[in-house]
A and B are shown apart, each in its own frame.
Chain A
């Protein structure tokens, strides 16, 4: 927390100074004057800026705005005139301090009450107060005294003033202490909220209207701030300007970030945001500093593999066999991790669960369990705390194995649902809603989607067909079995590849159901392709340019099939579609355990690559995925029907939004 605050403190003044200079000619001298006290004044201003940020975009702007106006109209300026000389003449400082305390001291208790109960937005999010009630609440409390009526801005002023005055009055400090924690706790959550909000905004295409509103608001605020700065030049004004100015920057950043993974939404602070101006789809593992940093955060102990292939240095690769024992032995130390999440992580790490559907379902089930057992800690809002929890689970799962694209979508869905929970919901209601949402997601997006795909794909299988399949995709298995049940006469060629030999298990199941199968390895592809009439392939993801991101070897199969002028049908659920565009399989991929390609299962005597890691000149590459260009794909069978690869963007554009908002 402290470090984050510090960074904010350092970062904030820069744009502020620049912007203030731009807006109001009077401000720069104010800066220079207050420079000796700046170090003191900055903590409260930094405290303000998040508050301003958090308040304005979410829902508070109208009340805040009104109350600001009110405060200025109520002649609070007169009270604000008092602080003016403070930075200028240190002699008068104590007296002004007294002056300030006299009117405000009596209201301090109520103020602290307000600060704790109302001012953190989490407070009324929780209680489900709407905008109106909260404003009315403020006004009601504001009415008794004029000074207190100016609370939203005036209250902040006092704290700012207090810390600026070096001889601090004790009862004021206590107020700040009371006030700080909600501000702090609020910060983490609200920023996430802000980002969600903005992602949502841009998605909704309300962006223009919202932006307009915001622009208007900012203009008003800056104008007001300028007038105030001219008149008084208090720290509070500069803080207000900061709040106003930091916001568009943040909005920009988060809008830029919209495409990047949701998991990154737990990053905080404008510094990080600015770095994100350059989009980082994922961490580049050849960047030493970042890797070091990530390692320190990591839950799973990760030893980087030594002999890594030059071209793939940017992808994470760890010594296999080091992570699992370590993670296992610290089973009981990882307190914050929910057991079911932990179990899923172990299964990812050990390879017990693989395949993007399986992993996605396992993850969602684990999250469901975690949500069931979740209780909101005191003084926190379910929406925010749960989002943070889910984020930490996700980062743990990423450490176990990089996320598949389907999982990224599921996570985004879940976080969206959490963010969209009605504020009036009690905790049990919210949890029940989320659990049923997860069930619905699994059902609609995976199980029913698979059924739809089966229904579509079966129409393409005719009697006498020879189908070629590669790897082990559960939806393709379902298609074949369904076609078999319908009584179609066809033959299946199961093409498999080392090192996973996933086809074997599939072959076993198919044969046990009475299908006529041929099993071969990918080496014999060009031979076996002669007899094939139709190629069915699964996919891990389909990208926006029609590129199919799938198990390594898929591209090869598709290319050979294309050369033989055979139709290549890709079966992929629509939730795995992704808006990314990828031209090669280098920039984004996953590296498997290189040891498994060095060894031949069942042949202990074939050990020519023993101790390969000690050889400097040898690097093994075990890629997990490859991309198939859309040229080789005849058709993509998805739950919305059979589409050409060029229509993927349409699905992504038209249906994706509806998914997230279902």
Chain B
């Protein structure tokens, strides 16, 4: 269908320290014991998109991501990993691979997206409107484990105002305004011209930009070339395109190449003074979008203005869509993937609604509740209790250990009598006897000494936390 896919797999995100490290870049963070990148790759694979470019920040991360993809997706996907220097931003990453892009439209996906919205739907909406950019919007996921009732990381989750202000036209097909939470201060400024052209704008704050965009390649490349200060797709490129949609500065804008050619041809053949509006009688849809109305209508004789369309595809309510961009999101997604959005995980659940690998060993009187996951080769001692948690591979857990609402990665050793609540414990961590963790993050390789109690802290080895 003439689409190319670029997956922006990022590098090591600052927001996810101490979960991420040099060994575990963001893209490889485990969600239900699978790297987060695998979710988007599998979604793309299911949509028959098997030719991907994965862009990774940082050399080491690129090597690791590349290695993992080769191992997991050999013979299934044709993936090219491109390495870009760190801190170039999403726009910079695209700039780096721009010369590889040849298809007429580009699908840009963030590697930390976990969703089940078919990318084809976005692509189809994009094609249908002949838009320059189409963004996938979805309902903001309910943050925090509020529905569980358990005291999760709620007090800790410092709501950073991560909402978007999104302006839509009445048909909710076109994007009129977009601003991320960070930019929103007290006032929001809208453009009069857009408001006047549309007549009515719907402003939503309950939608989230899922970082899945379809771009028209020519436009994307042009913008990236011309505006070399643009750093981020979301904060620079997309708002720029939205802002200028009624006074397009793009040379290859809205109208597709063919259409333009055709118009030109007809125009050259017609030297009769029929106004430009009727020349392509077929190309004016009977239900014109405000762009056409604006372009052709207002001042009679003035030449039609250049416009381009920015569309949105709003995922329906039942779809799951979340981004792994914070520690809170990490535990939320982990919980959801083995919980309510279990179809994403690709595992088959047991009768108790949990997943216990056959090689996992459970001691006597140990209970593993529903919506739990126990990785391969993990051992649990006696009288343990695991609720709504994910435990990775080859973990050794002693007796009398309570794990609630937590994520425990691989090769973690937990001694007897520990209690872990709402925490994330990274790989190779050692928890000695009677450690109590509540809403903590423990970085990889950390050793928590016996008897210590932590609440809402981030524990990591010194050099890791500095880097």
Contact = CB atoms under 8 A, between A and B. Distances in A.
Interface of A: 325, 327-335, 337, 339-340, 342-343, 346-347, 350-355, 357-362, 365, 368-369, 439, 443, 446-447, 450-451, 472, 474-475, 477-478, 481-482, 485, 500, 502, 505, 508-509, 512-514
B125 interface: yes
B284 interface: yes
Given A333-B48, A347-B285, A451-B272, A342 B127 contact: yes
Contacts of A332: 1, 3, 47-49, 119-120, 123
A477 B48 contact: no
A443 B49 CA distance: 38
B124 A327 contact: yes
User: Of residues B47, B120, B275, which shows the largest number of chain A Cβ atoms within 10 Å of its Cβ?
Assistant: B120
Contacts of B104: 339
Interface string B246-275: 000000000000110010011001101111
Interface centre among B104, B118, B278, B279, by most chain A C-beta atoms within 10 angstroms, is B278
A312 B273 CA distance: 45
B215 to A, nearest CB: 15
Interface string B105-143: 000000000000011110111011110000000000000
B287 A328 contact: no
A9 B310 CA distance: 57
19 contacts: A327-B124, A328-B118, A329-B120, A331-B121, A331-B127, A339-B1, A347-B128, A358-B284, A359-B282, A361-B280, A362-B282, A368-B258, A439-B265, A451-B272, A474-B282, A478-B278, A478-B281, A481-B278, A509-B297
| B contacts with A: majority SS | loop
Contacts, number: 133
Contacts of A357: 281-282
Contact of B281 (A358, A500, A512, A514): A358
Given A332-B49, A343-B127, A447 B281 contact: yes
A354 B297 contact: no
A475 B282 CA distance: 11
Contact of B266 (A369, A447, A481): A447
Contacts of A509: 277, 296-297
Given A358-B283, A443-B266, A328 B120 contact: yes
B297 A365 contact: no
A384 B127 CA distance: 29
A290 to B, nearest CB: 29
B300 interface: yes
A358 B128 contact: no
A450 B285 contact: no
Given A339-B1, A354-B286, A482 B274 contact: yes
A502 B130 CA distance: 22
Given A368-B258, A513-B300, 5 more contacts: A329-B124, A339-B127, A350-B128, A365-B262, A481-B274
A157 to B, nearest CB: 48
Nearest to B281: A474
B149 interface: no
B2 interface: yes
A351 B287 CA distance: 8
A478 B276 CA distance: 11
A446 B281 contact: yes
Contact of A353 (B262, B273, B285, B316): B285
A325 B119 contact: no
A343 B278 contact: no
B156 to A, nearest CB: 37
Contacts of B71: none
A360 B49 CA distance: 31
Nearest to B286: A354
Main secondary structure of the interface of A (DSSP, over half): helix
B161 interface: no
B217 to A, nearest CB: 13
Given A450-B281, A513-B300, A443 B269 contact: yes
A365 B282 CA distance: 10
A472 B287 CA distance: 11
B358 interface: no
A505 B287 CA distance: 8
Contacts of B3: 332
Contacts of B160: none
Nearest to B257: A369
Nearest to B265: A439
Contacts of A329: 118, 120-121, 124
A451 B49 CA distance: 46
A153 B316 CA distance: 64
Contacts of B258: 340, 365, 368-369
B260 to A, nearest CB: 12
A376 B276 CA distance: 38
B48 A355 contact: no
A365 B262 CA distance: 9
A485 B300 CA distance: 13
Given A331-B120, A512-B300, A343 B282 contact: no
B272 A331 contact: no
Contacts of B265: 439
A358 B282 contact: yes
A355 B284 CA distance: 10
Nearest to A330: B120
A351 B173 CA distance: 14
Contacts of A351: 287
Interface in B329-360: none
B186 to A, nearest CB: 32
A242 B283 CA distance: 52
Nearest to B5: A332
Contacts of B279: 447
Nearest to B124: A328
A505 B123 CA distance: 28
**9 A-B pairs with the lowest CB-CB distances in the bound complex, closest first:** A331-B120, A361-B282, A328-B124, A329-B118, A358-B282, A474-B281, A328-B121, A331-B124, A346-B128
A360 B282 contact: yes
Contacts of A350: 128
A362 B285 CA distance: 10
Nearest to B104: A339
A350 B282 CA distance: 16
Most chain-B Cβ atoms within 10 A of its Cβ — which of A331, A369, A447, A502?
A: A331
B278 A477 contact: yes
Contacts of B283: 358, 361-362
B297 to A, nearest CB: 6
Contacts of B121: 325, 328-329, 331
Nearest to A475: B281
A443 B281 CA distance: 11
Given A333-B48, A443-B269, A451-B272, A502 B286 contact: yes
Contacts of A340: 258
B47 A352 contact: no
Nearest to B275: A481
B289 to A, nearest CB: 9
Contacts of B47: 331-333
A352 B287 contact: yes
B180 to A, nearest CB: 27
Given A360-B282, A481-B278, A512-B297, A505 B288 contact: yes
B205 to A, nearest CB: 22
Contacts of B293: 508
Contacts of B275: 481, 513
A330 B118 CA distance: 8
B2 A339 contact: yes
Interface in B218-242: none
Interface string B61-94: 0000000000000000000000000000000000
A513 B275 CA distance: 10
B281 A352 contact: no
Contacts of A369: 258
Contacts of B277: 509
A354 to B, nearest CB: 5
B255 to A, nearest CB: 12
A576 to B, nearest CB: 13
